[in-house]
Amino acid sequence: MTIDTDNSHLADDATTPTVAGPAHPRATTTLRPLALSDVRLGDGFWLERQRANRDVSIPDGLRQLHDAGNLHNFEVAAGRADGDVIGPIFADSDVYKWLEAAAWEYAREPDSSLLDDQLRVTELVAAAQESDGYLNTVVPRREGERYGHPERNHEHYCAGHLIQAGVAQKRATGRDDLLNVAVKVADHLVREFGPRSATGSAGDVDGHPVIETALVELYRETGTRDYLDLAAWFVDARGHDSLERFGGNSTYLSDRVPVREATTLEGHAVRAVYLTTGATDVAIETGDDALLAALGAQYDHMSATKQYVTGGLGARWDGEAFGDEYELPSDRAYAETCAAIGAVQWAWRMLLATGEASYGDQIERLLFNGFLAGVSLRGGDYFYVNPLQVRHDAHADEERNPKNGRLRWFGCACCPPNIMRTLSSLGGYLATSTGDGVQLHQYASGTLRATTDAGDLELRVETAYPWNGRVRVTVVAAPEAPVTLSLRIPAWAAGATLDGAATQPGGYARITRSFAAGDALVLELPLAPRITRPHSRVDALRGTVAVERGPLVYAFEAQDQPGLVLDDVAVDAASLSEQAEASVAEARELALPGLVTVSLRTPCGDALTGIPYFAWANRTVDDMRVWLPEG
């Protein structure tokens, strides 16, 4: 299939219902998200990734959920199959994340088989729900009583992903099937936990956050205030070591320090960023500026001291955890794909709340690097762990070790459907609006429509980003009154110009005027490759350099450096250069039109070739380094 890049569909689809994407606040925020249905990607980098997601990842994901037994568990719970439930305690959640992906993908481009598949799975999920709303296929059949082990049983976590999927299906298809299941689950939780509860488990929080953001989304969709209240209650109930009485580790479970008192992120990285994401949702909807300020400080501290150059989060295999400040080894980076996704969600909410461009920078860094490395270019092959170095003699003793190569699925399969739902809803992260105009945060070809106080503004974006830094924004339709167009200038984009005028990196270039159809602006983001040097406290990186080009971090794979031992190379940083598509075999090998590679020389004159980090391990699985010693 092909997607046109003109704007004709906007007029044609005038009767199509508006589709809100993920995280559409009810409260007034500094920036407002656009409807998912008002953003349409055109041919280019991200549309290629969405096509792979639709054509390969999503259909293969449904097969994997069948083969791995996740769907079987629902059949057992629905009384339609015999046998034991199987797989990890949180197996249900992978089904829900797939349902959410399928929903957003349907919104992106409707297709009857995509709808049939999700409704069939939805019917099965609904059949597995108990009469009081509780829904978990594994816990009551294998682990004992409900909520008996919140530190490990993931019951709220599964409920949260179900709710997110129910909201997505409602927004994307207009159908209430899964939303009804989600509401029953949420009403059950309201009865069992938090301020309205009168049961013994009232005081417990779940070992794995996500219910917080899910309940806020359900509040947004339904208007039922109880859900927001319970989310807010869960946020503040956390951080008091309450899971220790079940044997849980407070640090690991984000239960050691209350969210509003924390100064950093610690413990299990995915848990931690899911919690701050939900807390940000709560802060937005309750107007809790103190909480929002605490979360902003935590984001700053995390990005300054505990984040890889790829955006990756989680330095430790041990506990899949954040390390200490500046503990960022390249070879043993965990940097779980799900943690990058959680950070995108958190940064997006912070961006809506504050309008600060740095969160747009974060989303760009995460999406192009730490997130996208988690899925193959063809779709359907995944990394759970995303290191910045693979040694020649590394030994893969665990399934998720990247030395094993990309895998079709995992025993713990949280990442694949998380990638799917992120790619299918990606359009929602590109732009926002305010009363007086539109803000472009991420650059990709396509069209978008936004509502301002003066009227609707329709734009067409044309760019070969991230290979080329020229972004042309053409006005398709505009109100007569002046509006403000804001374009994010990444912090790395020194020398950027908008219509030839110099702009400051690390903020927004703004133009306020009356626009007419056909008016165009040209943003030029200089994409010369650049040398990045590490913070002096990072042991693993001392004396090394990385290469970035625009939003892309580069990686050096052994297969591109014949005759050199990647473990032993050193480079001359001053030798950095780039090679555009026409001259590089890697572009064809990787099926990456427009690919730009970079080159560094050793002191002996040997040349090393770097490809974008997101594209590594798409040919053979090989030694790889992002940071190279200077020498």
Identified binder of a copy of itself from the candidate list 393, 501, 562, 563, rule CB under 8 A? 393
The dihedral built from the CA positions of residue 258, 259, 265 and 269, taken in this order, carries a sign that is: positive
When binding is defined by CB under 8 A, the residue of 541, 576, 615, 626 that contacts a copy of itself is 541
Which of residues 323, 374, 379, 469 is near a copy of itself by CB under 8 A? 323
Which range binds a copy of itself by CB under 8 A, 36-44, 106-114, 317-325, 612-620?
A: 317-325
Which one of residues 254, 389, 442, 452 is an interface residue with a copy of itself (CB under 8 A)?
Answer: 389
Rounded distance between C-alpha atoms, residue 186 and residue 204, angstroms: 16
Q: Does 391 bind a copy of itself (CB under 8 A)?
A: yes
3-class SS of residue 576: strand
Residue 397 interacting with a copy of itself (CB under 8 A):
yes
Residue 15 phi/psi, 5-degree rounding, is -90, -10
Asked if 84 touches a copy of itself (CB under 8 A), the answer is: no
Is 54 an interacting residue with respect to a copy of itself (CB under 8 A)?
Answer: no
Q: In angstroms, what is the minimal distance from the CB of 290 to a copy of itself?
A: 24
Token code pair at residue 55: 């054509």
Rule CB under 8 A: choose which of 197, 222, 251, 579 binds a copy of itself.
251
Using the minimum distance from each CB to a copy of itself, give the nearer residue, 111 or 567: 567
Question: d(Cα 363, Cα 8) in Å, to the nearest integer?
Answer: 29
Q: Which residues are catalytic?
A: 320, 414
Pick the stretch among 66-74, 247-255, 278-286, 374-382 that binds a copy of itself (CB under 8 A): 247-255
In the complex, what is the shortest distance from the CB of residue 338 to a copy of itself, in angstroms, rounded to a whole number?
Answer: 18
Buried b (16+ CB within 10 A) or exposed e, 164-185: bbbbbbbbbbebebbbebbbbb
Contact 310, 627 (CB under 8 A): no
Question: Quick check: 155 binds a copy of itself (CB under 8 A)?
Answer: no
Place of tokens 């539109």: 438
CB of 251 to a copy of itself, least distance (A): 4
Give whichever of 578 and 630 is closer to a copy of itself, judged by the CB atom: 630
User: Would you state the torsion angle of the CA atoms of residues 310, 315, 321, 326, taken in this order, to the nearest 10 degrees?
Assistant: -100
- Nearest to a copy of itself of 164, 389 (CB atom): 389
Nearer residue to a copy of itself within complex by CB, 328 or 523: 328
For residue 459, the minimal CB distance to a copy of itself (Å) is 45
Would you state the structure tokens that stand for residue 2, as one six-digit string?
Answer: 């092909």
Residue 394 touches a copy of itself, criterion: CB under 8 A: yes
Q: H or E element: which one contains 531?
A: strand 530-532
- Contact letters (x/-) for a copy of itself, 325-344, by CB under 8 A? xxx-xxxx------------
The residue type of 52 is A
Q: Which two tokens stand for residue 399?
A: 């399934």
Residue number with CB closer to a copy of itself (306 or 449):
306
- Non-local (6+) Cβ contacts of 321 within 8 A are 251, 252, 266, 267, 268, 269, 314, 315, 334
Size of the chain in residues: 631
Q: Which two tokens stand for residue 153?
A: 């049983």
Sole window of 323-331, 341-349, 486-494, 595-603 interacting with a copy of itself (rule: CB under 8 A): 323-331
Q: Which is nearer to a copy of itself, 255 or 288 (CB)?
A: 255
Q: How far is residue 544 from each of residues 91, 338, 492, 547, 599, measured CA to CA in Å?
A: 41, 28, 19, 10, 16
From the CA atom positions of the chain, what is the Rg in Å? Answer: 24
Check binding of 612 to a copy of itself (CB under 8 A).
Answer: no
CA distance to 54, 57, 96, per residue, from 113 (Å): 12, 15, 18
* Among residues 324, 453, 480, 499, the one that binds a copy of itself under rule CB under 8 A: 324
Answer for which of 145, 542, 580, 585 binds a copy of itself (CB under 8 A) is 542
Contact with a copy of itself (CB under 8 A) among 42, 194, 267, 466: 267
CB 438 within 8 A of CB 457: yes
Segment 500 to 539, residues that bind a copy of itself, using CB under 8 A: 536-537, 539
For a copy of itself, which is the closer residue by CB, 60 or 572?
572
- Other Cβ atoms less than 10 A from the Cβ of 395: the count is 7
Interacting residue ranges for a copy of itself, rule: CB under 8 A: 249-252, 256, 266-267, 316-319, 323-327, 329-332, 389, 391, 393-395, 397-398, 536-537, 539-544, 567-568, 629
